[in-house]
Every structure is written in structure tokens, then in C-alpha cells.
Amino acid sequence: MTYEFEGRTEKEAIDRAAEELRLEKDDFDVEILEVQRQGIFKKGHVRIRVHTDKPAATPYAAAPGEGGAPGRIRAEESGVSRRTTFGAPEAQTDFEQTLIDFVTDLIEHMGYTGKVSVLFREDRKLGLKIDSEYSSILIGKKGKNLDALQLLANIYAGRQGREDMRIILDTENYRIRREESLVRLAYTVADRVRENRGSVLLEPMNPFDRRLIHTTLNDIADVETKSEGEGLYKQVRVYYKGLR
């Protein structure tokens, strides 16, 4: 399925897509269709096309495919709002309990122990928290173990008939700490390439982490970013504008 969105910046267009489709930013791929940089007498304008296999929370039809008229949705007409609730760590439905049991068993089969509870709830997203003395191992290098556990949890949720539900796993607030670390890294690297008039290739990252780097640096006038490589874990190159 494909959709088109617009914004003053790439970040604004991507944020609008995530909000209106009610998907995580790593649930879709972004194709930049048009970029008009902000000038003295005109506002910036970016048009993107979003490709996703995830079910989108919208009453409007998606684009029929390449060459067809892209679908367009408007959040103000959808009548759907996102509500996040915290403070109820115990399972409230059979599905939540089944998922908690699955993640607990998964950890035990790895040879570790941990207590799994509900961190937050949204309409189509469920956050689970793992409390364990082996948190550092469960997180793994750059969060790869935690990403793998999260992927398995999402596959399991789909097999339970909940393909519409996005499962987020966290432990020791790693997700928040990782995001803050990446934002700091992005600004540090941007300063370096502006000073050296060169480029820096970052470590391989998952789609969500890459998109965070892209959107963080999107509004810096003389710095641009691009993804390089193949597969899920690509690298982001940050470069001084004018090198390409």
C-alpha cells in the first residue's frame, strides 16, 4: 500500500504520515518525491510517498499501485485519536497474558530469568517491560538482542490474530536512552562535517534509528544525510552539502 503526504520539511511529512496512518516510523519506507527548500520569499515544501505492508488506521483507500493515483488521508476526518495509558502493569486481557507468557518463556529458553509486565497501552500498540538482572545481555550490542526479541513478539502477536497490534519491548529504559544518544550523535557528527566540509559514515542501524538521524538533521541547512548499503541494517552517511 502507498500513500502520499506533504509537509514543510521531510520530518514534518514523515511525522504526519506516522500520525495519520497510526504506524511506527519503522513500519514504512519513505520515498522523497519533491523537495522545495525554504528561501527568503517562500516556505519549504516536501512531498513523500509512504510504502507499507502494515494495516493503516484510515477509512480511505491506499494507492492502487505504481502508476496509479496515490491515496491521500486526512487525520482530522478520520475521527481516530491515539490514547496512551500507563500504570496498569498486570495483564488485562487474555491476549496480553498470552504475550507476557510468550516473552517470559522466550527469555527462559535463552537461559535467563526476568519478569515481564505491561509498560503502556495504545489503541494499536502494546509496550512490555522486562525486569531482569540480565538486562544488558537481553539488550545486546546496540540493542540487537532486544530488537530480535521484539521481532519475535510481533510475529507471535500476528499468529494470535493481532497483526494490527505493534509490540514494543523495553528494559532499563533502553529505548529512550538510545534515542537520546542518537540525537546527540547526530548533532555531534553534523558539527564535524560542517567544520571539515566532508562526510562521516555511521555504524549500521535499524530503520527506526536511521530515520531518527535523518529527521534530526533534516532542518540543518548545510548538512544532508543518505542511507547506504543493503538489508535491514544500513548505514547513514552525513555529509556537507555540495559534496554530491
- Summarised one tens digit per residue, pLDDT across range 35-93 is 765 543 345 677 887 877 766 554 433 433 333 333 333 333 333 334 556 668 888 89
* Structural domain boundaries enclosing 29: 2-78
CA distances in angstroms from 202 to 91, 185, 231, listed in the order given: 40, 10, 16
Instruction: Write the DSSP assignment of 83-123 as a string of letters.
Output: --B-S--S--SHHHHHHHHHHHHHHHHTT---EEEEEEEET
112 and 58 assigned to the same domain: no
Q: What percent of the chain has pLDDT over 70?
A: 81
Residue 69's pLDDT is: 34
Asked whether residue 134 is assigned to any structural domain, the reply reads: yes
Please tell me the total count of domains within the chain: 3
Determine the Cα–Cα distance for residues 145 and 147; give it in Å rounded to an integer. Answer: 5
| Geometric angle at alpha carbon 95, from 58 and 100, rounded to 5° | 120
Residue 117's pLDDT is: 94
136 and 189 assigned to the same domain: no
Asked whether residue 18 is assigned to any structural domain, the reply reads: yes
157 and 180 assigned to the same domain: no
When pLDDT is averaged across residues 193-218 and rounded to a whole number, the result is 89
- Summarised one tens digit per residue, pLDDT across range 169-195 is 999 989 888 888 999 999 999 999 988
Helix (H, G, I), strand (E, B) or coil at 45: strand
Q: 94 versus 87: which is more confidently predicted?
A: 94
Task: State the pTM of this model.
Answer: 0.56
Residue 101's pLDDT is: 96
Asked whether residue 86 is assigned to any structural domain, the reply reads: no
Domain C-terminal end among 78, 112, 138: 78
Determine the Cα–Cα distance for residues 14 and 128; give it in Å rounded to an integer. Answer: 25
Domain C-terminal end among 146, 172, 198: 172
Residue 241's pLDDT is: 84
181 and 137 assigned to the same domain: no
Asked whether residue 89 is assigned to any structural domain, the reply reads: no
Instruction: State the pLDDT confidence band at 18, using cuts at 50, 70 and 90.
Output: confident
Helices within the chain (DSSP H only): 10-21, 75-78, 94-109, 135-139, 144-159, 174-196, 207-217
Determine the Cα–Cα distance for residues 37 and 133; give it in Å rounded to an integer. Answer: 49
Asked whether residue 88 is assigned to any structural domain, the reply reads: no
98 and 139 assigned to the same domain: yes
When pLDDT is averaged across residues 128-142 and rounded to a whole number, the result is 92
185 and 137 assigned to the same domain: no
Instruction: For residue 153, give the nearest of 123, 127, 119, 135 by alpha carbon.
Output: 127
165 and 185 assigned to the same domain: no
Q: Could you tell me the CATH number of the domain that includes residue 214?
A: 3.30.1370.50
**90: buried, middle or exposed (CB in 10 Å: 19+, 13-18, 0-12)?**
exposed
Asked whether residue 26 is assigned to any structural domain, the reply reads: yes
Side-chain half-sphere CA neighbours of 82 within 13 A: 17
Asked whether residue 66 is assigned to any structural domain, the reply reads: yes
Domain C-terminal end among 50, 78, 106: 78
Taken as a whole, the chain contains a residue count of 244
67 and 22 assigned to the same domain: yes
Q: Could you tell me the CATH number of the domain that includes residue 150?
A: 3.30.300.20
Asked whether residue 83 is assigned to any structural domain, the reply reads: no
Residue 55's pLDDT is: 65
74 and 9 assigned to the same domain: yes
